Structure 1
């Protein structure tokens, strides 16, 4: 079986937590470059994603390029964020005003241009504003068509840049248009562009009441996996807790199948340290994933294959417990 040797990236805004530990101030909002400098202090962290337009446009492009040229960190890609513009509150690609939809598409295209200019590989789309809150609020057929058209236009903008859909059941809308793995794969299949794929966010999958490894299996069958966001939570909301803190078995299973498929792209820690030191929290996430990957090396492949063929849950749990004891 292939080895799992991913790059590690982290949510840049996580490094704004506990400013008193790094900048000796609890009041001043840190700049993008200050956040990048703090992220660079994490042992084992090799990549970062910038939110667009929030992070990426708050710093002169020359300064961003200079940072990455002198830093051990590399740019993985950009994360589209529409929430910073009140115009998108009713939707980005699905807003009832055609002018607002065009604005969202143009903003995303400019983000993709920046990914290419900075040497990144992927643009991640979290279309959290595209959804609805009430019955009789939207024409479902129409908003679906607008969503498909919007994603198609931005994905076709530069075929060399991967465009990935990160689905989430809700928040900020009561119902997201792309809220689960099945709906997301239907959209990708309808659009049918080779640079389009999926980002799996572990906590989002839990909120959608999905088994993360099963979601991965569907992505492998019907699309391509572009990104993985690891975190954890209690299924009712996007808690953004440390990796493996609540669902270690599901995390281990997901890593097993990532190893099986030969995944070599980035694992991104989408966690929300609040009272924790974000440098220590990120380092702990890296250590947890590395320990889980190391434990999988001791898993008996022939024995696991026999268990899966028989669908033998009892033997499967015994094997998992033996594996976890190696962590």
Structure 2
């Protein structure tokens, strides 16, 4: 089994996955939760240390604001990881009740644009090249605001942010079909995101989050189409049963994860030169944070390893011959391949534990942080 194509594949993990989180009704705390961004990075570094798959950590502004970015950057690099994409936040300020970049009032739009310029400055200090924007703007009622007017304001706001970027910086624009608003989101789908990215220029691309689609959406089709026009800039992995559940990758529908990665592999987009940044975006509400992230990156690795087993020549031949069941069988043969032993062997050959989850449980790290992280307040969603 040839798994050499995995050698350069990496996944970026989110800093916010290590803090306390929960439901709309309760945030659950766990022993040893991080109290500052430094401790978040330390926890994230454990995932990379045990899996070799997660050398970058996404940060969120203002959740991860620090006084000295060079110091946080040095802290990360000392632990063997780098600071990755910078995520903006325009959903936790009273001024953004009716929108941020789409707000009818210029003062509020200007405030949101200034926040993104702050994120660009953070990128310059951390070495990040990706500004990731998830826009929570939208409407709850017909007639509440002009749909057309909001798109025009959004286009203008994005253009101002794009103009402030350096030549080596990218704007990654995410979409979500509902929540927090329910009548209309201002970037509800990949088409709307793509329209704005095309208008902005070559350094603007779409972010696809697997939890941000209506039930039954063919996500692998969207992946293919965005890759086809070279506008898939980043990929947020999580899993969902109903909506934006943010569950461990592959936990709800591992076959969907395989189908998505099969499209990615067929176009070579799993390789670094494709420019696609593969990330996790999820919260662990009831499970332990670090093991949850380890399980997620391992699930992606396993699905990718299966996708690499697809016999592309046999698949193409069956497709040309109109052999419907034969073509489907090629995919199913790859999906049903048990790659776990080969991946464990590969980890061992690279000096990594065969079973990263078991290695973490026996490492003593969880007990250590529960003992040493005393005093102060644990970080949680929104903090």
For normalisation by structure 1, the TM-score amounts to 0.89
Contact persistence 2:85–2:131 (CA under 8 A) = yes
Structure-2 change in CA distance of 1:156 and 1:208 (3 Å): farther
For structure 1, the residue ranges without an aligned partner over 5 or more in a row are: 24-28
Asked whether 1:217 is paired with 2:217, we answer no
Structure-2 change in CA distance of 1:308 and 1:117 (3 Å): farther
- Rounded Cα–Cα distance in structure 2 between residues aligned with 1:7 and 1:170: 29
Query: What is residue 38 of structure 2 aligned with on the other side?
Result: 33
- Rounded Cα–Cα distance in structure 2 between residues aligned with 1:76 and 1:310: 45
Query: What is residue 264 of structure 2 aligned with on the other side?
Result: 258
Query: What is residue 242 of structure 1 aligned with on the other side?
Result: 248
Asked whether 1:295 is paired with 2:302, we answer no
Query: What is residue 26 of structure 1 aligned with on the other side?
Result: none
Contact persistence 2:42–2:76 (CA under 8 A) = no
1:88 alignment partner, one of 58, 81, 96: 96
Structure-2 change in CA distance of 1:132 and 1:209 (3 Å): farther
Query: What is residue 289 of structure 2 aligned with on the other side?
Result: 278
Q: Provide, for residues 267-317 of structure 1, a one-character-per-residue CA deviation record: whole Å limited to 9, x for no partner.
A: 211122112112111111121122222222322111211344466553344
- Rounded Cα–Cα distance in structure 2 between residues aligned with 1:7 and 1:88: 35
Give the secondary-structure state (helix, strand or coil) at the position aligned to 2:306.
helix
2:234 alignment partner, one of 217, 222, 227: 227
Contact persistence 1:80–1:123 (CA under 8 A) = yes
Query: What is residue 370 of structure 2 aligned with on the other side?
Result: none
Query: What is residue 18 of structure 2 aligned with on the other side?
Result: 15
Give the secondary-structure state (helix, strand or coil) at the position aligned to 1:200.
strand
Asked whether 1:120 is paired with 2:128, we answer yes
Residue pairs, 1:315-326, within 5 angstroms = 315-326=326-337
Asked whether 1:3 is paired with 2:5, we answer yes
2:278 alignment partner, one of 258, 267, 279: 267
Asked whether 1:47 is paired with 2:56, we answer yes
Contact persistence 1:39–1:279 (CA under 8 A) = yes
Asked whether 1:107 is paired with 2:115, we answer yes
Aligned length: 317
Contact persistence 2:11–2:56 (CA under 8 A) = yes
Contact persistence 1:180–1:208 (CA under 8 A) = no
Cα shift at 1:243: 1.4
For normalisation by structure 2, the TM-score amounts to 0.77
Contact persistence 1:51–1:81 (CA under 8 A) = yes
Residue pairs, 1:297-312, within 5 angstroms = 297-309=308-320
Query: What is residue 185 of structure 2 aligned with on the other side?
Result: 176
- Rounded Cα–Cα distance in structure 1 between residues aligned with 2:219 and 2:145: 30
Range 61-70 or range 195-204, more displaced:
61-70
Q: Provide, for residues 2-52 of structure 1, a one-character-per-residue CA deviation record: whole Å limited to 9, x for no partner.
A: 9353221112121124753435xxxxx722211111111112321111001
Task: Please tell me whether Structure 1 or Structure 2 has the larger radius of gyration of its CA atoms.
Answer: 2
Q: Provide, for residues 126-153 of structure 1, a one-character-per-residue CA deviation record: whole Å limited to 9, x for no partner.
A: 011x211101111122111001111111
- Rounded Cα–Cα distance in structure 1 between residues aligned with 2:322 and 2:82: 42
1:142 alignment partner, one of 120, 144, 149: 149
Range 153-162 or range 194-203, more displaced:
153-162
Give the secondary-structure state (helix, strand or coil) at the position aligned to 2:205.
strand
- Rounded Cα–Cα distance in structure 1 between residues aligned with 2:67 and 2:44: 16
Give the secondary-structure state (helix, strand or coil) at the position aligned to 1:41.
helix
- Rounded Cα–Cα distance in structure 1 between residues aligned with 2:233 and 2:278: 10
CA RMSD of aligned residues (A): 2.2
Contact persistence 1:52–1:111 (CA under 8 A) = yes
- Rounded Cα–Cα distance in structure 2 between residues aligned with 1:69 and 1:312: 51
Contact persistence 1:78–1:124 (CA under 8 A) = yes
Range 142-151 or range 246-255, more displaced:
246-255
